């Protein structure tokens, strides 16, 4: 369990440390700068112990960091309660030096703080053969629990309590109401074509973490193997694949896609916490990895079953505009906005035309 800074421990307004809101804004600005100029950003995240959070020690730490860091660097409280250091134009090697020195400065009888280093962009994570979850790489010698944050995971936005509550309530109600329909459709899929009733595919979710998305199967079992040969017929620009009259789709699959009933099993993904009812649609891993750095900012929030693109842009906008819709959603998440998207999704799907 990560500790959050208590109100009494938060620095005053003239403090060197940024508040969680200002830190997040600074981190986002630095990320956009990297996307524009192709530089690099390192982020050092320190999990301070309760003793290290005492006002006197925090004040001493502020003075130390104000002297140690460059004027272009920034330090402050991350939304998850950790202390975050933003180090622009600093490769991993430089971040390791800073992390080691700060960790040594904070060392006390209880040891050093847990420390993680994240580098953006994380080019290693673009190779699916060498991606490792947080903490799987060799630990850095900067404190207990040291390890890596993957590039995308540095900027993850937590799921608000209201949003998780809506997800659980909505997904539970949806499964209770649509459960009999889902079982009937699964039986129809299994009875009318070769293969199982359900389809699983690896997608990239929050922070680039991978999960298995669930759908009712709408294609033949060999569909994925044929995708490369059909790529030239895609009507969607960018890395996403969408095709009119896709020959891989089964007869019942066309009906399921036309009504979006093939998406019903994703309510299980929502209950698992892998997806939300509302959020950017998760892309297959190969398509997500092919996105430009600025487009991958959509991974800052949890993916969802529906979002702005489903309501306003499906089958009618460029891939870049699709990604911009997702980024605009991530900046304006609210209960009211989510409920509006949920209410308008149904009519939008019924009126929509195009490949699905």
Task: Delimit the domains of the chain by residue range.
Answer: 7-155, 161-351
Tell how far CA 159 is from the center of its chain: 10
- The structure tokens 């487009």 sit at 295
DSSP, collapsed to helix, strand or coil, labels residue 97 as: helix
Residue 87 CB burial class (10 angstroms; 0-12, 13-18, ≥19): buried
Tokens of 42: 């390192």
174 phi, psi to nearest 5 deg: -65, -40
Tokens of 189: 């899929």
E strand residue ranges, the chain: 41-47, 74-77, 83-88, 114-120, 147-149, 198-204, 210-216, 276-278, 304-306
Kindly write down the DSSP assignment for every residue of 40-85, as one continuous string: -EEEEEEE--TGGGSHHHHHHHHHHHHHHS-TT-EEEE-TTS-EEE
Per-residue pLDDT of the chain (356 residues; tens, 9 = 90+): 444 444 334 444 558 999 998 999 999 899 999 988 889 999 999 999 989 999 999 999 999 999 999 999 999 999 889 999 999 999 999 999 999 999 999 987 777 899 999 998 875 544 333 233 333 333 334 444 444 555 566 677 788 999 999 999 999 999 999 999 999 999 999 999 888 999 999 999 998 999 999 999 999 999 999 998 999 898 888 999 988 889 999 999 999 998 889 999 999 999 999 999 999 999 999 999 999 988 998 999 999 999 999 888 776 789 999 999 999 999 889 999 999 999 998 776 655 555 55
Distance CA 306, CA 342 (A): 7
Is the separation of the CB atoms in 15 and 92 below 8 Å?
A: no
Is the separation of the CB atoms in 95 and 50 below 8 Å?
A: no
Give me the architecture of the 7-155 domain, per CATH: 2-Layer Sandwich (3.30)
């Amino acid at each position: 369990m990560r500790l959050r800074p208590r109100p009494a421990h938060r620095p005053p307004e003239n403090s060197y440390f940024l508040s969680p809101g200002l830190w997040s804004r600074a981190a986002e600005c630095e990320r956009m700068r990297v996307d524009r100029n192709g530089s690099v950003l390192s982020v050092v995240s320190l999990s301070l112990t309760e003793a290290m959070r005492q006002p006197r020690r925090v004040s001493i730490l502020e003075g130390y960091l104000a002297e140690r860091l460059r004027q272009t660097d920034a330090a402050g409280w991350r939304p998850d309660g950790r202390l975050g250091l933003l180090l622009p134009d600093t490769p991993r090697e430089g971040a390791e030096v800073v992390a080691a020195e700060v960790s040594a400065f904070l060392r006390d009888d209880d040891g050093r703080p847990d420390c993680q280093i994240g580098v953006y962009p994380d080019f290693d994570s673009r190779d699916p053969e060498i991606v490792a979850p947080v903490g799987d790489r060799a630990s850095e010698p900067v404190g207990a629990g040291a390890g890596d944050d993957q590039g995308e995971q540095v900027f993850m936005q937590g799921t608000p309590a209201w949003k998780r509550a809506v997800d659980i309530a909505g997904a539970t109600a949806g499964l209770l109401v649509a459960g009999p329909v889902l079982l009937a459709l699964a039986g129809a899929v299994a009875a009318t074509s070769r293969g199982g009733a359900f389809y699983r595919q690896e997608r990239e979710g929050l922070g680039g973490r991978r999960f298995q998305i669930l759908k009712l199967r709408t294609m033949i079992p060999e569909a994925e193997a044929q995708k490369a040969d059909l790529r030239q017929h895609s009507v969607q620009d960018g890395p996403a694949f969408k095709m009119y009259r896709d020959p891989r789709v089964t007869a019942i699959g066309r009906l399921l896609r036309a009504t979006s009933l093939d998406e019903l099993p994703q309510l299980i993904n929502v209950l698992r916490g892998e997806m939300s009812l509302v959020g950017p649609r998760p892309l297959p891993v190969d398509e997500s990895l092919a996105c430009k750095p600025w487009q991958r900012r959509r991974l800052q929030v949890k993916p969802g079953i529906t979002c702005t693109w489903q309501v306003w842009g499906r089958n009618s906008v460029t891939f870049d505009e699709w990604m911009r819709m997702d980024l605009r959603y991530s900046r304006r998440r609210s209960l009211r906005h989510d409920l509006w998207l949920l209410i308008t999704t149904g009519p939008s799907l019924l009126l929509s035309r195009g490949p699905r």
